[in-house]
A and B are shown apart, each in its own frame.
Chain A
Amino acid sequence: MSAEPYVGLGGWTPADLGVPGEVRRVVCAPEPVLSRSGPEVDPTAEETLRLAADLVATMRVSPGCVGLAAPQVGVEAQVFAVDVTGHPKAVTVHGTFVLCNARVVEASRWKPGREGCMSVPDLTGDVKRASRLVVEGALPGSGTPVRLVTDGFEARALQHEIDHCAGLLFLDRVAGAHAVYQRKVYL
């Protein structure tokens, strides 16, 4: 039996990874890796730590980037980084974090919103996402199971990244034939 997950991040920060991250090249659709479902990872493995650190480093140098998943740096794995700190649409904010093997356990209050993606740089789309969300996953390094309760923009970012790990893009969830737009503003 696995232990009951800890609610929240328990003070985890990227510094806990103990390895410096390297900025990796972000791949764009139609790169096939973006459409493949990634395997679960061992959150305590050395390579998972390095991947986590690289995702954080790459996210931080990318303007406007609030999340980055392993397939976006060409790695098939269920690992992603999120940081919606300072975003005007964010309500609950957990800061910068990385989750392994994350899954949605509760989702409610579905709301439409416009999404973009570093891996689909020229398009945006209207996607309905849960604005109340509970996610469970494991922290890289310690492997501690955690449960995050969030809402609003952070909830949207988490669903977008969990989709990446399952080989799905926002394009797979757009609301209709007129819900994909040519991007007008690049961050």
Chain B
Amino acid sequence: MSELAITVIGRDRPGIVADVAEVLAGLGANLTDSTMTRLRGHFAMTLICVGPAAAEVEAALTPLAADGQLLATVRAVTPDGTATPAGEPYVLAVHGADRMGIVAAMTRVIAEAGGNVTDLSTRLAGTLYVVVAEVDLPTGRADELAGRLARTAADLGVGVSLRPADPDLL
């Protein structure tokens, strides 16, 4: 059995998830972690599954992409288990007038401090650009990092906030 990283993206229509999942189930490929969402009219699936060889899965998905509306990729990846939780979880929110390089500049600040982005989404609504990221920060670095993020945000003309992620468990 191999662990596979699969992406499928294409113009949204009813049935994309069913079509892809059916192919995978037919091959005995078991879906593990995935995200599937609609992005400005395109449907994007990113998933990890455990199953047969990558080439076999890729061949089975090819008919779905035949009309040119869907793009599917399959790649074998090394199963490395769960990532070690590092540092303290924070939520970073950035919003302001849309311009080039907001995500690049803000995530570079996080990366240079040794922080790790674990989840990120962006939205463009009119001229308003919103980035919300969940980040793991090295212990004790949040205050210093908040200052650096604020300076970078000021250069970009956007607002930023960095808050501890809600640790509540039900």
Q: A residues touching B (Cβ–Cβ < 8 Å)? A: 28-30, 32, 35, 120-123, 128, 167-169, 171-180, 182
Contacts of B128 in A (CB 8 A): 28-30, 120, 122-123
Candidates B120, B126, B163; contact of A173 at CB < 8 Å: B163
B159 touches A176 (CB 8 A): no
Complex Cα–Cα for A83 and B33 (A): 44
Contact with A along B124-156 (1 / 0, CB 8 A): 011111101110000000000000000000000
Residues of A within 8 A of B158 (CB): 30
For the complex with contacts A123-B130, A180-B121, A180-B123, 4 further pairs of A-B residues with Cβ separation under 8 Å are A30-B95, A123-B128, A171-B130, A176-B91
**Which bracket fits the contact residues of B?**
20 to 34
Interface of B is mostly: strand
Q: Which of B97, B119, B127 contacts A177 (CB 8 A)?
A: B119
B133–A177 touching, CB < 8 Å:
yes
* Between-chain CB contacts (< 8 Å), 5 pairs: A30-B127, A30-B129, A177-B119, A177-B120, A177-B132
For the complex, give the distance between the alpha carbons of A28 and B95 in Å.
12
Q: Chain A residues with Cβ under 8 A from B127's Cβ? A: 30
B161 touches A168 (CB 8 A): yes
Once A35-B159, A128-B166, A168-B161 are accepted as A-B contacts, the answer to whether A174 and B93 lie under 8 Å apart by CB is yes
CA distance A178 to B129 in the complex (A): 15
Bound together, the chains give a CA A35 to CA B96 distance in angstroms of 9
Q: How distant is the Cα of A72 from the Cα of B91 in the complex, in angstroms?
A: 25
Write the nearest CB–CB distance from A176 to chain B, whole angstroms.
5
- Distance of A132 Cα from B164 Cα, bound (Å): 22
Residue of B nearest to A175 (CB): B166
Residue B65 is within 8 A (CB to CB) of chain A in the complex: no
Asked if B27 is an interface residue, CB under 8 A from chain A, the answer is: no
Could you tell me the distance in whole angstroms from the C-beta of A1 to the nearest C-beta in chain B?
35
Residues from chain B with a CB closer than 8 A to the CB of A180 are: 121, 123, 130, 132
